[in-house]
Amino acid sequence: MSTLTDGTPSGAGRHERRGTAVVVGASLAGLLTGLSLSRAGYDVTVLERSGPSPRSGAALGINGDACGGTRLPAGSDGAAPSLWALASGGSASPVQAWSAVHARLRAAAEADPRIELRHDTAVTGVGQDDDAAWATTSTGRTLRADVVVGADGHRSVVRRGVAPDKPEATFAGYVLWLGIADEAAVPAARRLPRGHDRPDILDAGDFCLIGYPLPGEDGSLAPGARRLGWAWFDPTRNDLLREKGCVVGDVVRRSLRFDAVPAHTHRELAAAARDLWPAPWQDAILDRVERRAVIGTPIAEYVPDRLVNGRLALVGNAAHVQTPMTGMGFDASLQDAEALADHLAGTSEVRAALRGYEETRLHGARDLVRSGQQFSRSFAGGGH
């Protein structure tokens, strides 16, 4: 049972306990991992540095055929829905709003008696000995468990314990401008036709745009009731990213928040949108620009050399960071979560199980990132 240094148990009153885990990070990869480990019989404490209010996020691809999301870990409840079914809400739409997927996974985690979610809990370091691994928080508390899993994104703290010689993801050389507009803001004559449910990928000189129709807040896919998400790949504003401290050296530090995008950048994006992009994506971009609701995300990449070290393991963007152009970030995180649970299920040999997880996932993770790097180098010249 994982326990705080003040003696607070995280798994009291649960049955058929096979082990304990601390998962660092409660974004998609962390929630997927917590749910998968719970189904494998683990008591799981998930630590998230941010508060309980949902974060923003644009959209993500969910490919049920590729992600292996129909499987359940050995020994879990065969009647339980797959993690893919939980995440997708049963929708066949290949692209969904990040916030909707996160809300479904979080609700499932909060309803799971084996999982405890702790928000406002920043992890500052990890460690291990022969008997356990642990995560130390910014308040000085320590949580010990059989395994500690890093699902804490591209600036992972846990990665420093797994790969101390290669702790940082590096800047790919371009920014991704992101926004989601209500289709109702687009004139009827310029909207997507009914039944248009696949992303549009558009090229224009130095730029690339992915536009994706999303269900409306009520789940409707009727014209006028949908939402229009867009991701604008831009290699021309790296100086702005460095000026704002979003990129330092070759390391991505943070995104450019809505309120930090300069007024002149909004004007430039609006002018470029009018010149470059057709309806309805031009309209969706202009709507977000006018509302000052555009976020800039510098793209990072990380090719892993290892995924585990003793009782420490990495999943999702903590393990491998690929350009969103691959469209496989969610699917890869789900594959990580399921493979980790598969190897840990039914065994007390944690170190051997984690080595098996690494053997299963490392090669594919490296190939995924490298395939994305081919795009990055052709698009941005590999320049940092």
Nearest to 286 by CA among 235, 238, 232: 232
CB 38 within 8 A of CB 112: yes
DSSP string of 268-328? HHHHHHHHH--TTHHHHHHHHHHTT--EEEEEEEB--S-SEETTEEE-HHHH-B--GGGS-
pLDDT tens-digit map of 62-120: 775 444 444 555 455 555 788 988 888 877 777 788 888 999 999 999 999 999 999 99
Element (H, E) at 149: strand 147-150
The predicted-structure confidence for 308-340, as pLDDT tens digits, reads as follows 999 999 999 999 999 998 889 999 999 999 999
Specify the CATH superfamily of domain 3-168+302-380.
FAD/NAD(P)-binding domain (3.50.50.60)
Sketch the domain layout of the chain as residue ranges.
3-168+302-380, 170-300
Question: Is residue 13 pLDDT above 60, yes or no?
Answer: no
Q: CATH number of the domain at 170-300, please?
A: 3.30.9.60
Q: Amino acid letter at 164?
A: P
Q: What integer pLDDT is reported at residue 79 of this predicted model? A: 59
pLDDT digits (tens, 9 = 90+) for 132-143: 999 999 999 999
> What DSSP character marks residue 90?
T
Cα(378)–Cα(384) distance, integer angstroms? 13
Q: How far is CA 112 from the centre of its chain?
A: 21
Per-residue pLDDT for 5 more than 60? no
Helix, strand, coil percent content, the chain, rounded in steps of 5:
35, 25, 40
Q: What count of other Cβ atoms lies within 10 Å of the Cβ of residue 133?
A: 27
Least confident of 54-63, 88-97, 118-127, 173-182: 54-63
Which range is least confidently modeled, 38-47, 216-225, 291-300? 216-225
Q: Which amino acid is at 237?
A: R
Six-digit token string for 273: 């949108």
Gyration radius (Cα) of the chain, Å: 21
pLDDT tens digits, one per residue of 143-152: 999 999 999 9
Given a cut of 50, whether residue 22 has pLDDT beyond it is yes
